[in-house]
């Protein structure tokens, strides 16, 4: 059974909803779970009404009986606070409990996360039910962990524009600016369009304006601060839940199921109040291109939030969908995606859901077993996975991932580009960062994801994909890192804005021009041009398409041009520079390249940093490394539907088969090979 004492082992779980099935089904479901090797179930995140059918009337016996069923079958439970779906009686008690969109439209009862977290009545009732549930089950012998709420901010619910939020936003701003409205006016530049405020009470949340939907028609400083405030509201709510859990169940770890590439909450801030990060992994949301591995950024970001291994609280088990559904993953793909998660730092993989729902919005979100509950193909695939996990857990349990390469992931920059996405196609910070992570992956390198205020020491190469917003100390810290021997790559449109989303007065990249060895003379967006109209060429004549925009760089005498533009009026102008600075090297790339283009561009910075890159890795093969002590475990995952022959980095013993590995291996379609290297 999964327990807090065995968190350094590999486990496989499932999400289960006993309240959604007749009680007579529970025993058979638990029996089938145990036979499949399921060690843990997650329960009760949507069961508020089941716990409290009438205000002040509580019913806990149903969950007590369900836990007894799982206990008989040796299955542990992760319980949740039932706060994401409030009951209808609470909605009737507080008609204004709902969230409001930026256009003033209310979000009606019937979804998840649809209550405003600044509504005093909701907050009071949410904390009360959390107090009672955690006190009732906090010391239950099979409860091994707690999950706060469920997918905070999902479905566009991280930002609310109601009157409650407006009042709280005004208070938040007053604290941020020390109660000095003149400081706010100066920081936001409110003299523009006569937007000066005499008092914080005059400030509105950034609702839709006369000709623009929020935030496009708003002051950029106001919009960015509202995004920060909205994130802080979710972080504060999670912190309050975690505090109650720790009081009533002090020996159990606290987690929350984050959503990988979801961008409306600063996950570094949210993760600070968790013991372990868990997240929901649905690779079928990503474009499935020519059997390439799903983009690794979400895996690496979730692991980077606490620089620790993670749990997958929801892993796609079949086709997902509500009114429409995605294609069903071919047999073997579910197991492979689970192994990708393990290869990138997951110690626990829990599938969503155990049994496909007969009722409600998620009828077509398919589980491990179909609606009828009888085990079929996906069940057998899970059995194979749990058998694999048992076989390798003694070796991999307690192992971790280390990297010489870091990618900076900065929510302020991400939000600033959401507010002003530059080109007609729009620059997505997350997609740019994802392209870097994918490029490194194709070179056989796994990057750590760190915040902009994180520690750069210990890394040989640090990449800032789009450090659009820079706080005062960032340039000094990155400069010191390079000067003392580090290698840095700075992406286009970096150090353009200050922390209040105002453009720096200094030449761009502000504060970084010396270490980067260049200034930005001008820039051009490809707004009405196809991306193929501008390209970049390296010193060997290799060509890659430029995307979104071009910064025309003016190199310093110390810098060398490494990429040149081809196309438009600036053909022959510098697109990227390499600058030796102190004991290190800095690159500035003045445009955006896709993962393939970045794969070529990054080879030279990696060589400067003495980081080994794969020479000719098959695009369908993903490789990662977990280490424990002196042991090195290298994963080779074949995302293609044909067998691949792969030259191994180093020989050793294959964990799943026990076979010796010398120079090369054959990897079956949608399969994985794990080599403990000699």
CA dist 571 and 476 (Å) reads 33
The angle subtended at Cα 257 by Cα 302 and Cα 227, nearest 5°, is 75
Q: CA distances (Å), 162 to each of 118, 146, 157, in order?
A: 9, 31, 12
Residue 431: count of CB within 10 angstroms of its CB:
16
CA dist 272 and 275 (Å) reads 8
CA dist 46 and 30 (Å) reads 20
Our answer to whether residue 151 is catalytic in this structure is yes
Nearest Cα to Cα of residue 173 among 226, 233, 219: 226
Our answer to whether residue 362 is catalytic in this structure is no
Residue 116: count of CB within 10 angstroms of its CB:
26
Helix (H, G, I), strand (E, B) or coil at 600: helix
Nearest Cα to Cα of residue 161 among 238, 85, 232, 98: 98
Residues 6+ positions from 350 with CB-CB distance below 8 Å: 12, 13, 14, 15, 40, 42, 78, 311, 312, 313, 314, 315
Instruction: Answer yes or no: are the C-beta atoms of 258 and 302 closer than 8 Å.
Output: yes
Instruction: Answer yes or no: are the C-beta atoms of 358 and 351 closer than 8 Å.
Output: no
Q: Which of 52, 151, 168, 551 is catalytic?
A: 151
Residues 6+ positions from 529 with CB-CB distance below 8 Å: 568
- Specify which residues 525 forms β-bridges with: 549
Q: Which letter, b or e, does each residue of 537-572 get, where b requires 16 or more Cβ atoms within 10 Å of its Cβ?
A: bbeeeeebbbbbbbbbbbbeeebebbbbbbbbebee
> Where does 405-460 show beta strands of DSSP type E?
405-408, 448-450
Q: Locate tokens 């060509």: which residue?
A: 543
Q: Which of 52, 166, 168, 314 is catalytic?
A: 314
Instruction: Respond yes or no on whether the N-terminal peptide bond of residue 93 is cis (omega within 30° of 0).
Output: no
Residues with catalytic annotation?
Answer: 151, 314
């Amino acid at each position: 059974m999964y327990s807090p004492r065995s968190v350094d082992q590999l486990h496989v779980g499932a999400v289960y909803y006993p309240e959604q099935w007749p009680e007579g089904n529970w025993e058979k479901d638990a029996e089938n779970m145990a036979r499949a090797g399921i060690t843990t179930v997650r329960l009760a995140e949507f069961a508020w009404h089941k716990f409290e059918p009438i205000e002040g009337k509580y019913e806990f016996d149903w969950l007590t009986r369900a836990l007894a069923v799982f206990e008989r079958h040796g299955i542990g439970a992760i319980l949740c606070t039932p706060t994401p779906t409030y009951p209808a009686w609470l909605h009737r008690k507080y008609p204004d409990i709902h969230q409001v969109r930026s256009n003033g439209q209310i979000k009606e009862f019937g979804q998840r996360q649809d209550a405003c977290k600044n509504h005093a009545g909701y907050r009071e009732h949410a904390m009360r039910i959390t107090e009672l549930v955690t006190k009732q089950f906090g010391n239950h012998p099979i409860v091994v962990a707690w999950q706060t709420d469920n997918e905070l901010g999902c479905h566009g619910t991280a930002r609310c524009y109601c009157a409650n939020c407006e009042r709280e936003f005004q208070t938040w701003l007053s604290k941020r600016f020390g109660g000095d409205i003149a400081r706010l006016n100066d920081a936001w530049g409110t003299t523009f369009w006569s937007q000066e405020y005499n008092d914080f009470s005059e400030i509105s949340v950034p609702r839709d304006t006369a000709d623009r939907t929020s935030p496009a028609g708003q002051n950029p400083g106001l919009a960015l601060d509202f995004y920060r405030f909205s994130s802080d509201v979710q972080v504060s709510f999670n912190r309050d839940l975690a505090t109650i859990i720790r009081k009533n169940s002090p020996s159990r770890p606290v987690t929350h199921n984050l959503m990988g590439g979801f961008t409306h909450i600063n996950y570094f801030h949210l993760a600070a109040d968790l013991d372990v990060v868990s997240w929901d992994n649905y690779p079928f949301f990503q474009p499935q291109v020519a059997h390439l591995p799903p983009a690794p950024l979400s895996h690496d970001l979730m692991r980077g939030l606490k620089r620790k291994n993670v749990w997958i609280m929801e892993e796609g088990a079949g086709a997902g969908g509500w009114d429409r559904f995605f294609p069903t993953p071919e047999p073997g793909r579910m197991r492979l995606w689970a192994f990708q998660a393990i290869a990138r730092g997951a110690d626990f993989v829990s599938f969503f859901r155990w049994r496909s729902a007969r009722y409600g919005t998620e009828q077509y979100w398919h589980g491990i077993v179909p609606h009828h509950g009888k085990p079929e193909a996906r069940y057998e695939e899970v059995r194979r996975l749990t058998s694999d996990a048992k076989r390798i857990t003694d070796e991999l349990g307690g192992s971790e991932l280390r990297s010489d390469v870091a990618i900076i992931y900065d929510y302020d920059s991400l939000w600033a580009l959401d507010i002003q996405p530059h080109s007609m196609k729009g620059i997505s910070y997350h997609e740019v960062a994802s392209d870097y992570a994918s490029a490194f992956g194709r070179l056989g390198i796994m990057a750590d994801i760190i915040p902009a205020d994180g520690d750069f020491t210990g890394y040989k190469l640090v990449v800032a994909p789009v450090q659009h917003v820079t706080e005062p100390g960032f340039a000094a810290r990155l400069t010191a890192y390079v000067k003392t021997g580090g290698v840095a790559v700075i992406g286009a449109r970096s150090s353009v804005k200050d922390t209040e989303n105002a453009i720096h007065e200094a030449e761009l990249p502000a504060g970084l021009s010396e270490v980067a060895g260049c200034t930005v003379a001008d820039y051009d967006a490809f707004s009405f041009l196809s991306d193929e109209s501008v390209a970049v060429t390296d010193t060997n004549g290799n060509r890659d398409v430029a995307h979104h925009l071009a910064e025309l760089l003016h190199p310093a005498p110390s810098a060398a041009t490494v990429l040149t533009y081809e196309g438009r009026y600036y053909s022959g102008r510098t697109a990227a520079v390499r600058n030796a600075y102190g004991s290190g090297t800095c690159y500035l790339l003045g445009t955006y390249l896709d993962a393939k283009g970045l794969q070529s561009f990054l080879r030279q910075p990696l060589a400067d940093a003495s980081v080994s890159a794969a020479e000719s890795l098959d695009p369908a093969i993903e490789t990662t490394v977990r280490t424990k002590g002196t042991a090195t475990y290298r994963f080779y995952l074949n995302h293609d539907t044909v067998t691949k022959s792969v030259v191994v980095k180093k020989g050793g013993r294959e964990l799943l088969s026990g076979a010796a590995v010398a120079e090369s291996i054959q990897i079956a379609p949608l399969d994985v090979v794990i080599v403990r290297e000699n």
